[in-house]
C-alpha cells in the first residue's frame, strides 16, 4: 500500500442532507495509486440547516463538552504507547475468536504515526512534558481514525458501488479523507497543529460518516417498501442527526476558540478524541442498521 501524501486538499462533503456545505470542489487524488490524477470529483453538498441545533452553553457562552475535564487526566509519554499495544492485542484477540476485522488499508501511515509517537517518547525535542503528551494523544487519535477509514473502505469494496458513486470514486474519496486524518498527526509532531488542522480533522470524520451513510443507504434501498425499510431508514436518520449535531457543536467550539483566542479553554486532543468517538459510534450504529437489512435480504434468497 503506497503511503498517503503529507498534504491533501480538504474535499467537498459527500451529498447529504445533514452535511455543512463545503466551498469548492473536491480534488480527489487516487491515493496509493500510480498514473495521472483524474479530474476533480465535484459533489454538490446540500444544506443541513434543517437539522441545525444548538448545544448547551456554559456560563461563558462556550459549548459544553459534556462532563469531561482533560486536566484531570494523568498521562506520561511512556504510557501513551500502551494504548497502541492494547489495540494491537485486541485485534489479535478478535482474530483468534474468529471475529472478522477489516483489512488495514493504511498500514504504512499508521506505522509512520507510531514512529512519531516513539520519537516523542524518547526525546523531548524542545517540548515540555505536557506538549509531548498532547502530541502523542493527537497521534493516537489519528491512528484510530485511520482504522475507521479502513472499515468504510472495506464496506465499499463489498459491492459494485452505490447508486451515487462508483467503487473507484468511493475509494478516492475515502483515501482523500484518510489523508486529512493523517495530517493531524503530522502537524502535531511538527508543532504545527492549530484550529485549521482541528477543523480539517473533524471535516474528515464528517466525510467518512457521509460516505458510510450512502453505502448503508444503498443496501437498505434493496429492501421492499414496508415496515422494516421504514424502520431502518428512521434509525439511520436519527443516528445521522445525532452525529452531525455533535460534530457541529465541536466545530462551533473550535470557531469560538479561534475567534476569542481561548487556546487554554479546551485541549486540541480532547476535541479530536470526542470527534473520533462520535464518528466511531455513528459508524457502529450504521453497521448494525446495514446488518439488519442484510440479514433480511439473505433470508429471502
Higher-pLDDT residue of 29, 155: 155
pLDDT of residue 102: 64
* β-bridge mates for residue 26, sequence order: 41
Would residue 84 count as lying in a domain? yes
pLDDT bin (cut points 50, 70, 90) of residue 101 is: low
* Number of domain units in the chain: 1
Would residue 159 count as lying in a domain? yes
Q: What is the mean pLDDT of residues 177-192?
A: 94
Summarised one tens digit per residue, pLDDT across range 124-135 is 667 788 888 899
pLDDT of 114 over the 90 cut? yes
pTM over 0.75: no
Percent of the chain with pLDDT over 90: 44
Quote the domain boundaries for residue 90. Answer: 74-299
pLDDT of 207 over the 70 cut? yes
Would residue 85 count as lying in a domain? yes
Would residue 14 count as lying in a domain? no
Summarised one tens digit per residue, pLDDT across range 234-277 is 999 999 999 999 999 999 988 887 766 545 556 888 999 999 99
Question: How far apart, in Å, do the first and last CA atoms of the chain sit?
Answer: 36
Cα(278)–Cα(246) distance, integer angstroms: 7
Summarised one tens digit per residue, pLDDT across range 3-29 is 444 444 444 445 443 345 433 334 333
pLDDT of residue 131: 86
Name the average pLDDT for the chain: 74
pLDDT of residue 28: 39
Query: Which among 149, 150, 290 has a CA at the least distance from the CA of 218?
Result: 290
pLDDT of 97 over the 70 cut? no
pLDDT of residue 162: 56
Would residue 68 count as lying in a domain? no
Would residue 6 count as lying in a domain? no
Would residue 50 count as lying in a domain? no
Would residue 17 count as lying in a domain? no
Cα(240)–Cα(202) distance, integer angstroms: 15
Q: What is the mean pLDDT of residues 199-211?
A: 96
- Asked whether the beta carbons of 48 and 240 are under 8 A apart, the reply is no
- Asked whether the beta carbons of 134 and 194 are under 8 A apart, the reply is no
Amino acid at each position: 500500500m503506497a503511503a498517503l501524501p503529507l498534504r491533501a486538499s480538504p474535499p467537498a462533503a459527500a451529498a447529504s442532507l445533514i452535511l455543512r456545505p463545503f466551498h469548492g470542489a473536491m480534488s480527489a487524488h487516487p491515493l496509493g495509486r500510480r498514473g495521472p490524477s483524474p479530474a476533480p470529483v465535484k459533489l454538490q453538498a446540500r444544506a443541513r440547516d434543517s437539522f441545525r441545533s444548538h448545544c448547551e452553553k456554559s456560563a461563558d457562552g462556550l459549548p459544553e463538552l459534556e462532563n469531561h475535564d482533560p486536566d484531570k487526566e494523568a498521562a506520561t509519554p511512556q504510557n501513551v504507547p500502551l494504548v497502541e499495544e492494547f489495540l494491537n492485542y485486541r485485534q489479535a484477540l478478535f482474530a483468534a475468536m474468529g471475529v472478522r476485522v477489516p483489512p488495514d488499508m493504511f498500514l504504512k501511515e499508521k506505522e509512520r504515526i507510531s514512529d512519531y509517537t516513539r520519537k516523542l517518547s524518547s526525546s523531548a525535542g524542545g517540548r515540555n512534558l505536557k506538549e509531548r503528551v498532547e502530541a502523542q494523544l493527537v497521534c493516537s487519535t489519528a491512528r484510530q481514525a485511520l482504522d475507521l477509514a479502513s472499515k468504510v473502505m472495506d464496506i465499499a469494496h463489498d459491492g459494485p458501488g452505490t447508486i451515487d458513486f462508483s467503487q473507484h470514486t468511493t475509494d478516492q474519496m475515502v483515501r482523500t479523507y484518510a489523508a486529512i486524518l493523517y495530517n493531524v498527526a503530522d502537524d502535531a509532531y511538527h508543532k504545527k497543529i492549530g484550529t485549521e488542522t482541528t477543523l480539517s480533522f473533524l471535516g474528515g470524520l464528517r466525510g467518512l460518516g457521509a460516505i458510510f451513510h450512502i453505502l448503508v443507504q444503498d443496501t437498505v434501498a434493496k429492501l421492499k417498501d414496508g415496515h422494516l425499510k421504514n424502520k431502518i431508514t428512521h434509525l439511520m436518520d436519527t443516528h445521522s442527526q445525532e452525529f452531525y449535531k455533535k460534530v457541529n457543536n465541536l466545530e462551533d467550539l473550535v470557531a469560538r476558540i479561534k475567534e476569542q483566542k481561548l487556546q487554554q479553554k479546551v485541549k486540541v486532543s480532547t476535541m479530536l478524541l470526542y470527534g473520533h468517538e462520535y464518528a466511531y459510534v455513528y459508524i457502529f450504529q450504521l453497521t448494525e442498521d446495514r446488518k439488519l437489512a442484510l440479514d433480511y435480504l439473505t433470508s429471502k434468497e
